[in-house]
Structure 1
C-alpha cells in the first residue's frame, strides 16, 4: 500500500534562527521561499512558485517555512501543510534527472510521493479540478490566487468546453501524466475485467521518460503483475524498482523486497558499501572518488528511508556531498530552522 495521503493515492510555520526564511500565510508574494531556494538550495526557483503558494494558502493549507525540514526527507523544501497533516514540498535533486529539475512532491515518513513533474503542471491540475468540482466562490478564489499563472495555464471553463466528461482523461490528455491518475486508471480497468488494458497501462507507466528517477512506477507495475499471477515478471519489476532511490518507492521498502524475493540482501549490500572495505573495493575497480562519494550519499538516503530516520544521517550525507564537490547541496541537506 502506498504511504501517500488520499490526495496522492485517490511543521506548521517554523520559527528558526534565520529570520529571513520565515514565511507568513498572509504574504501574497512569498519572497522567503524564493530567497531560500536561491541561497540555500542553490538553484533557480520555479517561475510560478509564488502563485502556487498563494493557491495552496487559498485552499486552506498552512504555509511552512522553507527551512522547516526537521524530520523530513532532507532533499525536500517544504511549502505547505494541509489539515490532514500532509506536507507539500519541492524536491531538490542533488543531480536532477532530465525533465525533473524541481518536481512537486508530498513528503511522507519513508520518502516522497510525486504530485507533479513541475510547478506549472501542478497549478494546471489544481485549476482544472477546482473548475470541475468546486463551488463557485472557492473556484474564483483559487483562480484569483493563481493570477498570471492561471491566465497562462488554464482558462476557466475549458474543461466543460472540451466535451470530456472524465476529469482523469482530461488531465492525461491536456495537462500531463500523474502517478495517482495512472494508478487509478489501471485499477478501474481491473474493475471492468479488462486485464489486458490494465497490464498495458501499467507498462506504459514505467517508460523511462515519464517519471525519470522515480521507482514508484516499477513498484506499481510489480503489484499489477502479481495481481494477474505473473510472479516472475513481478519479481523482476520489483528488483528493478529497488535500483532507483528507495525514497521514491511510494511504499515501505520491505513491501517491495517481499515481491522481489529479497530479504535484507540489499540493506546489507548498501551497509557494506559504506565501510572502508567497500570504498577500497570501488577505488580498486577504478571508480572515481567523487562518484564513490555520490553513491555513498545515495546509499545513506536509501537506508534512512527504511525506517524514516532522516535526521540521524544528515551529517554523514552532507560529508559525502562535500567529498563529491557538491558543497551547496551539503549545506542545504543540513539546514533546518
Structure 2
C-alpha cells in the first residue's frame, strides 16, 4: 500500500527567491573554515527549507554541507540500519529524537546557543534543542466545503461527518510525525486512553482518501480539491496558501490540538562531529532564525528574540493540549503498531 502513497511534493514559486535571500544570511566563508570540513544532515523539514539552511550554513562557514530530506519515521528507520550515515538530524518532533536517544543513536551536546531557549523548546541534557514550532490544524478547501454545505471543521468530531467520506487526508503515522502527533493528541483528549484514540481513527478511516507518506502532501491534495480537508501542520497549510492555493483555510479543533517542537540533535558515530556541533550552534542562533521568514517556512522560530514572519500562524493564540514529550515518545511504537494492524489494514480492504 505504501508505494501507492508516494505523492508529489508542493512546488512553491518563491523557493528560488527564498533560497537567495536566506543564503545572504551568511557573511561569506569564514577565514577559519577548513575546506576539507563537511557535514551530512538528515533533514525532516520541507525540501526548500532544507535547501536553504544547508546553503546558508555552507556559505557562512565554508563547511561542505549535504542533506537528505526524510520524514521522522524514515530517519528512525535509517538510523536503525545505518548509523554513521548522517552527522546531524535537523527537524522532526522532539519526541522522535528522544526515541533515537533511547536506542543509543544520539550524542548529547549542550549548545551554548540553547541556553536562551524556553524550557519547552529545549532538553537540558543535550539530547535535543528546538529551532521551530507549529501546530496541528485542519487545512480545508473552502469551495469543496461549500459543495457539501459544510462549515470549516472546528472539532475532531467534525471530521467524522459521513458527508466527508473519502474526503479527508492524513499522513501515515509510521512515516510522518504529524500522523502520530494526531493520534497522540486524540489520546490526550481522552485522558491518555490509547484504545479510545484507536477507536476514533477507526471511525475516521472511511473518510480518509489516502494515508500519505509526507506531512505536507495533504495540503496540496486539499488545495487541488482532491479532498475537502487535511490533518496537517498549520505552517504547511499557510505555505500552500501563499504558494497560490487561495481556496485553503486554516482552522483548529476547539477541544485542543497537538504541537511540535522541531528539534536538532547530534548523531552518534558522526563522522564529522566538530562540524555537526557548529551546525547545531548555528541553526539555534538568533541570526539564523531571524531569516526563517525569508524562505519562507511559516513555522515559528524557537528563539525568543528571533523575528517572526508576517503570515506565520500565531502559536500563542492556539488552544493546545498538554504535551508530554517523554510519554509521546514511549507510546509511539504501540500506537503505530495498532494503526497498521487495525486501521491501515482496514484501509487496504476498502
Is the TM-score greater than 0.5? no
Higher RCO (CA < 8 A, seq sep 6+): 2
Structure whose CA Rg is larger? 1
TM-score w.r.t. length of structure 2: 0.23
**Greater percentage in strand:** 2
TM-score w.r.t. length of structure 1: 0.23
